[in-house]
Amino acid sequence: MTDKQILDLLLARDENAIDALQLAYGKYCRYIAMRILEEEQDAYEIINDVWLCAWNSIPPQHPEPLKGYLGALTRNLAINRATQNRAQKRTKLTNYNKSTK
């Protein structure tokens, strides 16, 4: 399926667009997410978030190329998740250090 066909499905609010995105760009987005997160479950959740963001943002936007748009969404969401994960680890470590004193 071409990018134009996928965009047309998204603009028509056809749920088959999510399946088309997954087929066309699932591996690409997963690769990006895994390079940043290194956790399979986090990457899986990020990919689902990417599809949701694309679903919510495409009607007013018509990104060209779609691959670059999805890649940027994936990268940004994965970086945000990685930042959250690091903050949680720091908080746990700080709490652990306080409790051992």
Give the model confidence (pLDDT) of 53-91 as tens digits. 999 998 887 888 999 999 999 999 999 999 988 887 767
Q: Give the separation between CA 72 and CA 61, rounded to whole angstroms.
A: 14
**pTM exceeds 0.85 for this model:** no
For 6-49, write each residue's pLDDT tens digit.
999 999 999 999 999 999 999 999 999 999 998 899 999 999 99
Q: Give the separation between CA 36 and CA 92, rounded to whole angstroms.
A: 21
